[in-house]
Chains A and B, each alone.
Chain A
Amino acid sequence: MNVTMKVNGVEHTADVEPRVLLVDYIRTNLRLTGTHVGCDTSSCGACTVLIDGEPVKSCTQLAVQVNGRSISTVEGLSAGAAMTPIQTGFHEEHGLQCGFCTPGMMMVGTALLETNPDPSEEDIRWAISGNICRCTGYMNIVKAIQHAAAAQRAAAQAPKPEAVTAGGGQ
């Protein structure tokens, strides 16, 4: 069956067997291996991607189900060399140990801050409650998302630089 979806802003069309899972399509067909397969039974959240901005377990979704929709994976977070606040937060707060759960955690964190820019610690813990960290590094994961939230709020409040007009301004 022909399936078209946007992944990290790029449109892909492929002939996909209906039983192909979204995570396998992303990892095998698109070669985007940042999305991990952990439990493969909808328990761990390592395979979390965003479908139209909402975090979903891509091991429990058929590729044909997301025909026509927009998917974001961890590879889509940074534009070139610049890291997003979530990525910087995980870097600064040491929000990972082995790193296996990290892509899922960052996608969930990204979606949370999109809808709730000033989450409480409980909001964060609830948001990541479908994602398991086998290293049990939850303290720093929570701190990483708090760091990102603070950075994002500060950026939003910072005065915008004045537009530079052609010829060097005034």
Chain B
Amino acid sequence: MFPAAFDYRAPASLAEAVDILRQRGDDAKVMAGGQSLIPLLKLRFSQPGLIVDIGRLPNLAGVSRQNGHLHVRALTRHVDIERSHELKGLLPILPEAAHWIADPLVRNRGTIGGSLAHADPSGDWGSVMLALDADLVAHSKAGERVIHAADFFQGPFTTALRPDEVLTEIRIPLGSGRSGGSYQKLERKIGDFATVGVAVQVELDGGKVKRAGIGMTSVGDKNLKAVQAEATLAGKEPTDEVIAEAATLAAAAAEPKSDIRGSADYKKDVVRVFVQRGLRSAVARAREEGK
């Protein structure tokens, strides 16, 4: 298989990239690692007139801490997040989720920004960013625009990005209290799309939950945020009863479809179990951090 013909540009700078997109954005697709886009091109589900390859732009990869936020540059590869010792201590949900993405070969090329901009409802990073209440930063000729994760995903493979914009960075608030997170995923085999995935992040204040974030993978037409479940946790001690109630609310908010990976009812129940497991694990990690 090979893609339909397209023009190809590999700009040398972000300024050049957004210049190209301003002129030809409607007809162009931005490519980072290409691990989601190239299969779509080969199957001809996507037939852009122009590929703008930003995969080798300078200064668009890496992780740093600034003003209480973790800044993850868009071209940071899954493998770099998976192997980062710094992130294992700082935000363990990130390396944990990275470990579950596709397979090791794909993780060597795929990037966090590319995955988020691709906005596959079965994508893992979207749920993680919803749980972390991250901001996504887009660049265009007009400058920088910050989009909250909750506003970013609009439907299957559809985001708030405009055709003239490039996703350049993800900014994750680190919180002031003790925090912990966890990513749970069920897949039939490595490399398959998730049957269900759940991302959970909690921040504790004393014995109580200050903030909880829950994102869900493969159970809707986009990554879903379990808003009611998050709200019921806030201000409460994370007892077994409170966790069970949040899990039930999250399962109710999930909108899975029955398919070869399982029935809708089954997937809802997996959400319930994963939210429970994830919350227990996240709370334990948050308590550990305070010691």
Could you list which residues of chain A lie within 8 angstroms of chain B, going by C-beta atoms? 1, 17-21, 24, 40-43, 45, 48, 54-57, 60-62, 64-65, 67, 108, 126-127, 129-131
> Is B11 at the interface (CB under 8 A from chain A)?
no
Task: Tell me the chain B residues, 43-90 only, with Cβ under 8 Å from chain A.
Answer: 43, 51, 53, 55
Query: Contact at A60–B2, with CB atoms within 8 Å?
Result: no
- Taking the nearest CB of chain A, how far is it from the CB of B269, in angstroms? 27
Query: Contact at A60–B35, with CB atoms within 8 Å?
Result: yes
- Which residues of the other chain, B, contact A67 by a CB distance below 8 angstroms? 10
B contact residues, total (Cβ < 8 Å): 28
Query: Contact at A61–B109, with CB atoms within 8 Å?
Result: yes
- Taking the nearest CB of chain B, how far is it from the CB of A14, in angstroms? 15
Query: Contact at B105–A45, with CB atoms within 8 Å?
Result: yes
- Which residues of the other chain, A, contact B7 by a CB distance below 8 angstroms? 18
12 residue pairs A–B, Cβ–Cβ below 8 Å: A18-B7, A19-B41, A21-B42, A48-B105, A55-B104, A60-B106, A61-B34, A67-B10, A129-B103, A129-B191, A130-B102, A130-B106
- Taking the nearest CB of chain B, how far is it from the CB of A122, in angstroms? 13
Complex formed: what's the CA distance from A40 to B39 in Å?
A: 9
Query: Contact at A61–B8, with CB atoms within 8 Å?
Result: no
Complex formed: what's the CA distance from A101 to B172 in Å?
A: 41
Query: Contact at B106–A42, with CB atoms within 8 Å?
Result: yes
Query: Contact at A65–B55, with CB atoms within 8 Å?
Result: yes
Query: Contact at B103–A60, with CB atoms within 8 Å?
Result: no
> Is B190 at the interface (CB under 8 A from chain A)?
yes
